Amino acid sequence: MHAQSSAPWRHGRRFRLSAAIGALLALVAVTACQGGGGPADDAVKIGILAPETGVFAAYGPKVIRDPINLWLSSNGNKIDGRPVEVVKADTKSTPQGALRAARQLVERDDVDVAIGLVNSAAALAVRNYLDQNKVVTLVTVAGAEELTQEQKSKYIFRVGFANSQFHGSGAVIAQKAGVKSIAAIADDYVAPRQLLDPFLRDAKELGITVKKAVYAPFPTTDYGPYLSQLRSVSGDVQAIAPMMFGADGVAFFTQYKQAGFDIPLYTFGDVTEQTIFLDQVKENAIGSETYWSYSPWLDTKANNSFREAYVKKYKRLPGAFSMQSYAAMQFLHAGVAKAGEEFGESDSLVSALEGVTVDSPGGKLTFDEGHGVNWNVYLNKVVKGPDGRVTQIPTGPWIESQPQRSSIKQALDNYHSSGAPVTEAAKQAVAKAK
């Protein structure tokens, strides 16, 4: 990595204009009398900090850029009446690439805000640079819990979930469904372990027996040897919990079905996320159940409008990651509107973001003290939806408003055995799948 500058590069884009103000006073005096629109610097400049190449290449265009563009096109390409300029920087799916991309957005492109970040390692790699340079950043996918806990930055907000947020809910939902024993398989690196291990711990605490946990090296293209280990306990478990993502997830689900397993899969909804996974795997994932924060078939006014606009523009269903990027734009709009003329000063925009609530497709969201948001957690089933696309649909039980590092007690206190808001057509699709 390059050495960090000892002094912050920026205090907000408008701050750096102050050096030129004295030389421009006469010109300003003349032009101020001429009327017309606001100055060009009133534009909101957004930097998309996301992978366009590498193992996470699909995330940048599909679940970050597309939802941002949808929000902009639906709002006249303006934020609070201000024109918007969008630039992108490819993180190349690596920590080193993310740091170079962040430097580009700050030192060359001079953005007001950065949106994106997918893999946790990349997000942690740029954390100090973004913090030192006071870059207001809305993280839409990366789940490293440290970003909004021990390594919290005043300038970094997470619109997505933290890796520590849903494991208690997942265990409670399984226990309430009568699951007594499970096995698990995961890729052996930070994100899957940070998601699976606490889930297994909480499952044990609730009386669920974990018969076997198998860990495969990352990346893995052939899960045959690991499936053989699972087969040794297949007669003793009611569900298998897989935890792998991207191409590895596609390979596992395909090979699991080819191997003839009929044990239900129960996993974190990120594993079967709509855009990155289900649109590729399709029928091979049908029947899986997940604990997850979103379904495109949640029946709320905000979500129905979002789903319809997204499908019309992109000819595919939105997943949670797309919803989170869209919600990031809702937060940015609300923050800029509240900050007013001072939106280009980082501290002013931060203060504004800390006090707003948005009605996102995933529910009403407000940043907590750690700059994360609470999420509802639904028991989803992967089925063919009302439009024939394979998708996740809530089947009834859900847990309300779970914070970062949610505990078993918090999940139990907010458990609902039924009543998840789902469209009538989606309910019929679930009933048809039974």
Q: Identify the pLDDT of residue 247.
A: 83
Residue with tokens 């700059």: 371
CATH code for the structural domain at 167-292+375-433: 3.40.50.2300
Superfamily name with CATH number, domain 13-163+307-366: Response regulator (3.40.50.2300)
- pLDDT exceeds cutoff 50 at 17: no
116 and 60 Cβ atoms separated by less than 8 Å: yes
Left (φ > 0), alpha (ψ -120 to 50) or beta: where does 80 sit?
left
Half-sphere exposure of 187 (CA within 13 A, CB side): 20
Distance CA 275, CA 314 (A): 11
- pLDDT exceeds cutoff 50 at 36: no
Question: 41 pLDDT band (50/70/90 cuts)?
Answer: low
Fold: same for 13-163+307-366 and 167-292+375-433: yes
- C-alpha dihedral sign at 63, 65, 68, 73: negative
Check whether the bond before 219 is cis (ω within 30° of 0).
Answer: yes
- C-alpha dihedral sign at 295, 300, 305, 306: negative
Q: Identify the pLDDT of residue 246.
A: 80
Question: 31 pLDDT band (50/70/90 cuts)?
Answer: very low
SS3 (DSSP) at 319? coil
Closest CA to 93 of 127, 59, 66: 59
Q: Identify the pLDDT of residue 42.
A: 87
SS3 (DSSP) at 70? helix
- pLDDT exceeds cutoff 80 at 8: no
Report how far Cα 170 is from the mean position of its chain's Cα atoms: 18
Report how far Cα 319 is from the mean position of its chain's Cα atoms: 9
CA distances from 393 to 229, 281, 359 (A): 31, 16, 21
Q: So where are the chain's domains? A: 13-163+307-366, 167-292+375-433
Residue with tokens 């007690």: 409
Token couple for 93: 């799916």
Calculate mean pLDDT across residues 315-326: 98
Calculate mean pLDDT across residues 236-250: 94
Closest CA to 157 of 376, 319, 346, 354: 354
Q: Which amino acid is at 399?
A: I
- pLDDT exceeds cutoff 70 at 316: yes
